[in-house]
């Protein structure tokens, strides 16, 4: 069973290498990538069942025991997010294969897409299961390298400028991350998360607070917390729809995951909890206000992405089992819903030929399936019952009410306001793009190269992939009870930390 932990990282890397060799056979590249990610979904499903019933799984690479070797750990949280992320990456890959174009012009998929995409998937998986800070840094660098390749495909001046902003901010975050690792190692003599959770307690309170705040900044850049979010709305909308979808669905959530992991296991500090609550309020409100000011559909969704990161931070800032449970539920819900919205936005902009809501009209009449695929995740994101967004928000509101502190009440009020602003933003898209007089679809340059659906210009794989993620969001709502129960157990494990330390650290290690 321990070998399974390494496969979500190893298989995509091997698949990427083989895909490069098959560069002249794009059909085999696509089959290979689909097979690899399908296997990862199966492996992640097995890990979810095992970690929830039997406990965490640990793999000590090379036979070197922690804290001296490289440790991979799969617990309830890591396995759950690994499964959800694998489903999203598989669906987005299907969409990409069906699209074969960017939103503004036809272009055959190059041989670099599948290798870079698989490397990105490997980086995401490594971030979830790594057991030390340095390999967490490696995971972020893997994701950065692959994402830069993906975001600059079909190069244009606008896209290169956006990519440079993305890379400069990411490299700045990486420099701060290296500084954080150096400071942590100098202060504690270890970077293994399990051992660090014990050694960190012996530091002076001032040093604890300083390092914890630096970690919040480092991972806050990755998660796009306000005021560290400025790079995201300018970077994500420039990429093709499937790339934006996987970035929005996964990359920021990896940052949130690391915040949850490190701030429950290591950086438990009352000052930091209060800072997280303040930042969550700013993130929710600023992101939502930015969204309602947009006319570009993708920029609107990007600001909403920033806004709803604040909900996850709200749950983490509560530092209670209920709060962290709500944060976990919200991460799972948001990964699928946000990715689905960006894929549907790809269908929408491909049909209309524009991202401006002022130039869209009547899509509900000409493409009713696209309208349905947009409406369901939009209502889900706004938190309309009985969708998963409502269930996650109710859990967060309960955490805020039970905390009974000024900042908790303020964050709860901000969350309620943000929910209404999100609904208003989604209504603007619906009225602008789907209502009104029907307009002629954007002309398809080569209608014979893809299998279209109905009278639209969306290939069957694109529609299937979008539908898969929309249905996944509904399924999360249907299994909300068992999922909430598992999330609560994961939250208890995170805040306690003893189970994680016990399975990672061998007997006899100085503590």
- State the CB neighbour count (10 A cutoff) for residue 174: 17
Lowest mean pLDDT among 13-17, 102-106, 134-138, 286-290: 102-106
Q: Which residues in 62-138 belong to E strands, given as ranges? A: 70-74, 101-102, 105-106
pLDDT band at 458 (very low <50, low <70, confident <90, very high): low
pLDDT digits (tens, 9 = 90+) for 88-143: 999 999 998 887 644 444 445 556 888 999 999 999 999 999 999 999 999 999 99
DSSP 112: T
pLDDT for the residue numbered 455: 37
Q: Structural domain tally of the chain?
A: 1
What would the pLDDT profile of 332-385 be if each residue is shown by its tens digit?
999 999 999 999 998 888 888 788 888 887 888 888 899 999 999 999 999 898
> SS3 for 103?
coil
Q: Identify whether 447 is part of a domain.
A: no
Radius of gyration of the chain (CA): 22
In whole angstroms, what is the distance from residue 362 CA to residue 352 CA? 10
Q: Which helix (H) or strand (E) holds 102?
A: strand 101-102
pLDDT of residue 42: 96
pLDDT for position 103: 42
291 is a domain residue: yes
Residue 511 lies in a domain: no
Domain for residue 510, yes or no?
Answer: no
The more confidently predicted of residues 24 and 318 is: 318
The answer to the question of residue 445 being in a domain is: no
Interhelix angle 76-99/321-352, nearest 10 degrees: 0
Q: What is the mean pLDDT of the chain?
A: 87
Cα–Cα distance for residue pair 390/419, rounded to 1 Å: 10
The full length of the chain comes to: 511
Instruction: Please report how the helices 113-129 and 252-265 are oriented relative to each other, as an axis angle in degrees rounded to 10.
Output: 10
Largest CA distance in the chain: 73
CA proximity to 407, closest of 223, 271, 209: 271
Residue 220 domain-assigned (yes or no) = yes
> Could you tell me if residue 259 is inside a domain?
yes
Cis peptide before 67, with omega less than 30 degrees from 0? yes
Domain that residue 279 falls in: 3-439+454-504
Q: Check pLDDT > 70 for residue 268.
A: yes
- Worst-scoring range by mean pLDDT, 106-115, 225-234, 312-321? 106-115
- The secondary element (H helix, E strand) that includes residue 444 is none
Establish if 412 belongs to a structural domain.
yes
Percent of the chain with pLDDT over 70: 91
- Model pTM score: 0.91
pLDDT of residue 156: 65
Residue 154: which region, alpha, beta or left (left: phi > 0; alpha: psi -120 to 50)? Answer: left
**Taking Cα atoms as reference points, which of 417, 248, 431, 430 lies closest to residue 337?**
248
Query: Coil, strand, or helix at residue 386?
Result: coil
Q: Decide: helix, strand or coil at residue 506.
A: coil
Q: 297 with 355: CB under 8 angstroms?
A: yes
Q: What is the pLDDT of residues 400-449, one digit of tens each?
A: 998 878 989 999 999 999 999 999 999 999 888 888 766 766 665 544 44
Closest among 116, 91, 100, 73 to 37, alpha carbons compared: 91
pLDDT digits (tens, 9 = 90+) for 444-455: 554 444 434 433
């Amino acid at each position: 069973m321990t070998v399974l932990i390494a496969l979500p990282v190893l298989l995509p890397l091997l698949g990427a290498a083989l895909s490069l060799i098959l560069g002249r056979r794009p059909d085999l590249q696509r089959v290979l990538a689909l097979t690899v990610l399908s296997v990862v979904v199966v492996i992640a499903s097995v890990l979810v069942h095992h970690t929830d019933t039997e406990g965490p799984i640990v793999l000590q690479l090379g036979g070197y025991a922690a804290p001296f070797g490289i440790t991979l750990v799969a617990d309830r949280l890591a396995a759950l997010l690994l499964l959800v992320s694998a489903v999203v990456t598989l669906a987005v890959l299907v969409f990409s294969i069906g699209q074969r174009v960017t939103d503004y012009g036809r272009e055959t998929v190059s041989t670099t897409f599948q290798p870079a995409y698989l490397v990105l998937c490997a980086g995401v998986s490594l971030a979830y299961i790594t057991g030390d800070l340095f390999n967490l840094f490696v995971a972020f660098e893997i994701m950065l390298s692959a994402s830069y390749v993906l975001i600059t495909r079909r190069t244009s001046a606008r896209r290169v400028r956006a990519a440079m902003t993305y890379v400069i901010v990411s490299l700045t975050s990486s420099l701060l991350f290296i500084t954080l690792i150096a400071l942590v190692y100098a202060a504690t003599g270890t970077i293994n998360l399990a051992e660090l959770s014990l050694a960190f307690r012996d530091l002076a309170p001032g040093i604890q607070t300083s390092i914890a705040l630096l970690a919040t900044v480092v991972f806050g850049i990755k998660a796009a917390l306000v005021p560290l979010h400025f790079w995201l709305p300018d970077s994500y909308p420039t990429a093709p729809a499937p790339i934006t979808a996987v970035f929005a669905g996964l990359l920021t959530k990896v940052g949130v995951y690391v915040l949850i992991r490190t701030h429950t296991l290591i950086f438990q500090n009352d000052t930091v909890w209060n800072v997280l609550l303040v930042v969550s309020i700013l993130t929710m409100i600023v992101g939502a206000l930015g969204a309602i000011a947009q006319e570009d559909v993708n920029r609107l969704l990007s600001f909403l992405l920033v806004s709803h990161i604040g909900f996850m931070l709200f749950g983490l800032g509560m530092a209670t089992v209920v709060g962290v449970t709500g944060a976990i539920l919200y991460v799972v819900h948001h990964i699928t819903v946000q990715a689905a919205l960006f894929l549907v936005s790809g269908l929408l902009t491909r049909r209309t030929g524009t991202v401006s809501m002022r130039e869209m009209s009547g899509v509900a009449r000409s493409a009713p399936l696209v309208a349905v695929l947009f409406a369901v995740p939009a209502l889900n994101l706004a938190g309309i019952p009985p969708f998963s967004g409502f269930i996650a928000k109710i859990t967060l509101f309960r955490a805020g009410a039970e905390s009974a502190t000024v900042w908790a009440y303020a964050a709860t009020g901000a969350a309620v306001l943000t929910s209404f602003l999100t609904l208003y933003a989604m209504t603007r898209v619906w009225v602008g793009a789907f209502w009104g007089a029907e307009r002629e679809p954007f002309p398809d340059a080569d209608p014979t190269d893809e299998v279209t659906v109905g009278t639209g210009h969306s290939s069957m794989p694109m529609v299937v992939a979008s539908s898969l993620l929309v249905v996944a969001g509904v399924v999360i709502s249907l299994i909300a009870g068992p999922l909430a129960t598992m999330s609560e157990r994961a939250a208890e494990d995170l805040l306690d930390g003893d189970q994680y330390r016990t399975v990672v650290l061998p007997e006899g290690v100085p503590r």
